[in-house]
Structure 1
């Protein structure tokens, strides 16, 4: 079992996050969060957060969270640097547990491009469900208009597992 923890990214890790967001292979899956929004998240915003998931002191994934000031925080962007090694599942499971520690939060949610089967399967394995199809929900940076699937994770189910 992979264990790790979420942290504020170092300057070097922030560069790695930006590089992944700007990598053309992810243009149809990951948005490029503007630098101003990333800076706001790093400055202690109540509504946004930017974290890296470290395993053995090495960043293996990142998350950009929005809507943190509501009862329904959103995984706005999620990326795994070290793919195919189980880090994505470990990172998302740890993130859900971290978010569930705030009693006011009801559900964690995200949107994923329909047809991104690796991501859909990963989210389902972690417990995301209650799916809603959103036709033509997002225009990617490569100019494609794609369908999305909105997925939720009810946090009370995690809180029940912890007791």
Structure 2
């Protein structure tokens, strides 16, 4: 299913293969900020070809999807849902979202999550969307809760930063 929706100044649509380099650039930029992602910049070294292959795999799987947000014909962010491969978990999948810094606080995150949840609700194979986020990412946690996500648990001291600080992994879910 291809999704295209215009919302305010943004267009939310299904990713295309030709978006691979822009998606990769957003990934590099956001991971490079170092604030809320488990990977650090030097651990993320995917090539443009690997990114295209990843997107192709998503597009070919009816239980996966990836949406992008365009503002003024430029990719501003993306959201992905990847289903679990094991049969007993195949009705579930994880969500991840990345938005370029200059496009934050515009409602793109809420809009992309809402569109992804709508896709999941319409997909008879999907029953649960889950995610993990740093316990310090209070704005994201608040957004997720406002969209109906519930805290399922925590992995205590799951992440350790170079300064010795630990952060919990907050596990959240929404049934669709």
TM-score bracket for the superposition, by shorter chain length: 0.7 to 0.9
Unaligned runs of 5+ in 2: 1-6
The structure 2 residue matched to 1:138, chosen from 155, 159, 173, is 159
Corresponding position of 1:14: 23
Matching of residue 42 in structure 1 with residue 30 in structure 2: no
Give CA deviations for 1:36-60 in whole Å, capped at 9, x if unaligned. Answer: 7644421224376544223564423
Work out whether residues 7 and 54 of structure 1, in 8 Å CA contact, stay in contact via their aligned partners in 2: no
Extract unaligned runs of 5+ from structure 1.
Answer: 156-163
1:100-139 alignment to 2 at 5 Å?
A: 100-139=121-160
Return the offset for 1:97: 0.8
**Is 1:79–2:98 an aligned residue pair?**
yes
Q: Quick check: 1:48–1:67 contact (8 Å CA) kept in 2?
A: yes
Would the alpha carbon gap of residues 18 and 102 (structure 1) be closer, same or farther in structure 2, given more than 3 Å must change?
A: same
Alpha-carbon spacing, 1:140–1:63, altered in 2? closer, same or farther (3 Å): farther
Compared with structure 1, are the counterparts of its residues 92 and 15 closer, same or farther at alpha carbon in structure 2 (3 Å cutoff)? same
| Structure 1 position 141, deviation (Å) | 7.8
Q: 1:149 corresponds to which residue?
A: 170
Residue 30 in structure 1 maps to residue 37 in structure 2: yes
Alignment counterpart, residue 70 of structure 2, candidates 50, 54, 59: 54
Q: CA deviation at 1:117?
A: 0.7
Contact 2:23 2:75 (C-alpha < 8 Å) held by counterparts: no
Q: CA deviation at 1:139?
A: 4.4
Considering Cα pairs closer than 8 Å and 6+ residues apart, tell me whether 1 or 2 has the greater RCO.
1
**Number of equivalences:** 152
Q: CA deviation at 1:95?
A: 1.1
Shift of residue 122, structure 1, vs aligned partner: 1.1
Contact 2:120 2:127 in 1 (8 A): no
Q: In terms of Rg, which structure is larger?
A: 2
User: Deviation at 1:154?
Assistant: 1.0
- C-alpha RMSD over aligned residues: 2.9
